Structure 1
Amino acid sequence: MPPSLEGPRRGQPRRNQTGPENASNAPPTQPIDPNITATIHQIMSEMLPSLVAQTVEALRQSDDGEDPNLVNQPSETQGQGTDTGGNSQEIHLWLERFHKQKPRVFILAATPVDAEDWIIHLEKIFRVLGCPDHIRVELAIYKLEGDAYCWWHVWKQAHTGVVDIGSLTWEEFKELFYQQYFSNSDKDAYGREYATIRQRDDESISDYMARFLRLASYAGIIAGIASYQTEKFKWSLNGKYRSKLINQNFTTVAQVVDAARNIERERLDTIQFKGDKDKKRKHDGSSGSFNRFKSDNSDKRRFGGSKFSGSSQSITSSNPSVTTPPIVCKECNLPHRPSPCLRMTGSCFNCGQRGHLANWIKSKLDKACPDYS
């Protein structure tokens, strides 16, 4: 019986056609170029943050009841910004980068200097991140809190329809901010202070330099060129520094500061050395008084309770406000008041009179001190 030409019956598994006899019909395989693989990975890594941000924003919009398809459509004011944040995706990305720099919030300014310091702090972050102009305004408004945000809210309500708040530039925002927290009258006051600036007695060189340079920045063209500022800084120093620098020539304020700091360090070292020396002298004096007290007591015991130690007490009793401690005499090697030594003058060691001696001193004179007991 001839073989059947029909195919495999229904229900029977088809035989594998990839055996050795059909190996020649398989398509050839080629290795993938590693450069192409690296390029694909790089493109995907760059697109992944954007895709994640778009997905998160779409989910947020859907939760709010908005159409997620409108999230990625460019708005008419994209690139200009609006008062409510402009393009939400762009603001979201810039806000994330901005928060990583840990910017300070602004609530109120105790002094006008605090307001300017906050603006300078934000501009440093904006310059590093490369923020566009309209994004700077949005991020600065985001960091206003308390009284500062109330001021901005009131100003925005008062100028709605009069000023295009959505197209407000960074320079315009700074001008509005300074009108509120750093007015022209404040700048004029700092300029007048710069004109009559002097270093205070309790002000260090570093503190005075910081105050001088800050006031010079407020004074503007009134501060003068570098050589004028150098001379003004030198002549406005305290007399204890100016007297040593007056005949020296400097070209910059930094040179004057460096020389004045050396004088300041020398003065501090001298004061510290004198303080240590005075402490040592007091310590030596207290220990010396204790030793003299022991010597006086030993002398009393030695001479049988004589009135020898009363020589120093007589000075105190005559003038209670003045107390002169006894010193050890180089002639008799005994402590007595600062007066001519009685042994050298031939006077009595008890009463100080001449013509007799104390009976506890061996002498050829027969007359003893009548005050001795």
Structure 2
Amino acid sequence: MWLERFNKQKPHSFEKATAPADAENWISHMEKIFDVMGCEDAFKTRLFFPRAEQERLKREYHYIRQTSTETTTEFMQRFHRLAGFLGAAAGTEEEQAKNFQWGLRRSTLNHLMCMSYTDVAQVANAARNYEILHEKDDEENERSNKRQRSGDRHQPTSQQSSHRSHGQHNDRHGSDKRGGSDNHRCSNNNYSDSNS
């Protein structure tokens, strides 16, 4: 009987939501139907998600971790989406902030552990600031390593010229401008000369 009355209201089916707004619109639609039918809140809550799905979402929320390819912003969006589905079960803003903080990548978490935050946005801002600082350090280290590797491969011009035959006008490409033979030998072990 109840199911027949419910189906006469032509409820929208809910398969998945790509954004919290999709879920909120569906919930609003269902709320209107329940109001028309006079359903109590306790009964409505049980119908929104199957219990197994509710439990799966709770587990996912409590064990959520930032992936190695996710930025803090992407992780925060995924976290908020999941917390939005859980509603009050996600906890207070401070509890959510703590859960979000512990879900960050280990390298980021290590720098934020001594701080406490009142909401997810504060944690995300601190994590983004750390990421930006860390990216600048990585870029500087990479430039430094490139300079160092470049210096290892190429000897300064003054050292190269001391290995050339004196008295000849070498064009630095291995041949004498006056038509002579190859007088250039690379002394660096990274290069091999087949004429050696």
Give the TM-score category using the shorter length. 0.5 to 0.7
Residue 297 (structure 1) aligned with residue 166 (structure 2): no
SS of the residue corresponding to residue 174 of structure 2 reads helix
> How far apart, in 1, do the equivalents of 2:188 and 2:52 lie?
72
Aligned to 1:308: 183
Residue 249 of structure 1 and its aligned partner are, at CA, apart by 2.8
> How far apart, in 2, do the equivalents of 1:263 and 1:314 lie?
41
Among candidates 228, 231, 235, match of residue 102 of structure 2? 235
Q: State the Cα deviation string for residues 255-288 of structure 1 (Å, max 9, x = none).
A: 111111112223344455667x48x96xx99xx8
Aligned to 2:51: 184
Read off the aligned partner of 1:118 and give its amino acid letter.
Answer: D
Q: State the Cα deviation string for residues 322-343 of structure 1 (Å, max 9, x = none).
A: 4269xxxxxxxxxxxxxxxxxx
> How far apart, in 2, do the equivalents of 1:235 and 1:84 lie?
44
Q: State the Cα deviation string for residues 28-65 of structure 1 (Å, max 9, x = none).
A: xxxxxxxxxxxxxxxxxxxxxxxxxxxxxxxxxxxxxx
- Aligned-residue identity in percent: 24
Q: Pick closer, same or farther for the CA change 1:233–1:324 going to 2, 3 Å.
A: farther
Aligned to 1:118: 22
Aligned to 1:70: none
**Which residues of 2 match residues 188-199 of structure 1 at below 5 A?**
188-199=55-66
SS of the residue corresponding to residue 186 of structure 2 reads helix
Whether the 8 Å contact between 1:241 and 1:263 is mirrored in structure 2 is: yes
Q: Pick closer, same or farther for the CA change 1:241–1:115 going to 2, 3 Å.
A: closer
Aligned to 1:251: 118
Read off the aligned partner of 1:308 and give its amino acid letter.
Answer: N
**Which residues of 2 match residues 1-12 of structure 1 at below 5 A?**
none
Residue 267 (structure 1) aligned with residue 129 (structure 2): no
**Which residues of 2 match residues 82-93 of structure 1 at below 5 A?**
none
> How far apart, in 2, do the equivalents of 1:114 and 1:301 lie?
70
Answer 1 or 2: higher relative contact order, Cα 8 Å, separation at least 6: 2
Q: Pick closer, same or farther for the CA change 1:218–1:122 going to 2, 3 Å.
A: closer
Residue 168 (structure 1) aligned with residue 37 (structure 2): yes
Aligned residues: 168
The structure having more radius of gyration, on CA atoms, is 1
Among candidates 30, 52, 76, match of residue 209 of structure 1? 76
Gapped regions of structure 2 (runs ≥ 5):
1-7, 161-169
When the two chains are superposed, the root-mean-square deviation of aligned CA atoms in Å is: 4.8
Gapped regions of structure 1 (runs ≥ 5):
1-82, 86-105, 127-132, 138-164, 316-321, 326-350, 352-373
